[in-house]
Amino acid sequence: MTTEPAARGDAIAVRHDARAGRFEAEVDGLPGLATYRLVDGVMRIDHTEVAPQLEGRGVASRIVREALAYAEANGLRVEPWCSYVRGYMKRHPETHKLLPDGFVLR
């Protein structure tokens, strides 16, 4: 678990629940999460969601960064099935090394 300042000076603590296949955070008592499935060494991130009150505060991007860091540290590839994660990876070319061979970001 790591923490990082949020837009309003809060701390964003991201927890990895491997059993549930999710990364989650709570800010001001409100939830945010990214869910995934592991398939043959590939982390398929299929959903990202934050409470509407947290939008624009960097919560989703923090959760996604933590998920991608976990994948990299554990030698996993990442398939961004979630549109938010695809957009994040498009904006951050340093994450492209995590994509499986032949996977194209659309």
- CATH code, 93: 3.40.630.30
Domain membership flag for residue 24: yes
Pick out the chain residues at pLDDT < 50: 1-10
What domain count does the chain have? 1
Task: Give the count of beta carbons closer than 10 Å to the beta carbon of residue 103.
Answer: 15
The per-residue pLDDT for 5 is: 45
Domain membership flag for residue 52: yes
The per-residue pLDDT for 47 is: 98
Residue-wise pLDDT for 63-78, tens only, equals: 999 999 999 999 999 9
Domain membership flag for residue 46: yes
What domain range is 12 assigned to? 2-98
Domain membership flag for residue 106: no
The per-residue pLDDT for 6 is: 46
The per-residue pLDDT for 14 is: 96
